[in-house]
A and B are shown apart, each in its own frame.
Chain A
Amino acid sequence: MTTQIHLNGVVKTVASATSTPLLYVLRDELNLNGAKFGCGLGQCGACTVLLDDKPVFSCLTPLGAAVGRHVRTIESLGSAAAPGALQAAFIKHQAAQCGYCIAGMVMRAQALLERNTAPTDEQIRAHMEPNLCRCGTHMRILAAIREVAAAGSLQQTRKGG
């Protein structure tokens, strides 16, 4: 039995059982690296992807819940050669140390800026609360998000999904 999902703007057919968490489908069947296993409990956000424009923990979202909906991962935002607005801002601010949390951070920030183009600093912090960073790169992550918000430059990457 196979399942179809809309992934990064393309329809994908996958063989995983519908009870499989989306994270393992993305990583192991579709060979995407962005979403990471952090806790499997929805407590750290390393696995964050967008489901119909909302940030979700892919470690807790069964494949079946994504059927007929649009899934976006960090791979949809841009590439190392042509990074999207948030990716470029994170690179500019060197907003990573080990970087394990960073794809999840970018996807959660993407959801905020698509919905609210001019968030306050308090709104950014509240929105980013579910995602953990252990290296202490928070100040740079916040600076990168603020910069994209101030520039209003996210629209360019909006079409990815």
Chain B
Amino acid sequence: MMSTPGETGTESWPLWEVFVRANRGLSHVHVGSLHAPDSDMAVRNARDLYTRRNEGVSIWVVPADAITTSDPDAKGAYFESPAGKNYRHAVYYTKSEGVKHL
């Protein structure tokens, strides 16, 4: 497991990842990152930077170094389990074609 890109110990201000909820009922979606001294300033900066055109009704900011991510180099092996298990998808089952409400 690795830290998040862009997060370096040499920055005087930490990097924050910004998530915006476009409307009630939708989830917060990652929109980008920014640079701020603390979480209050990060939220204010995120408002100015990422919601200048009514893009959202709610903002989350997360310190980039608080995010744990999977190892990108292990992509193949790590996500191998679903491969070959297409019976997990409805389209796998074709015999019911033409039958209503299925």
Query: Do A and B associate with each other?
Result: no
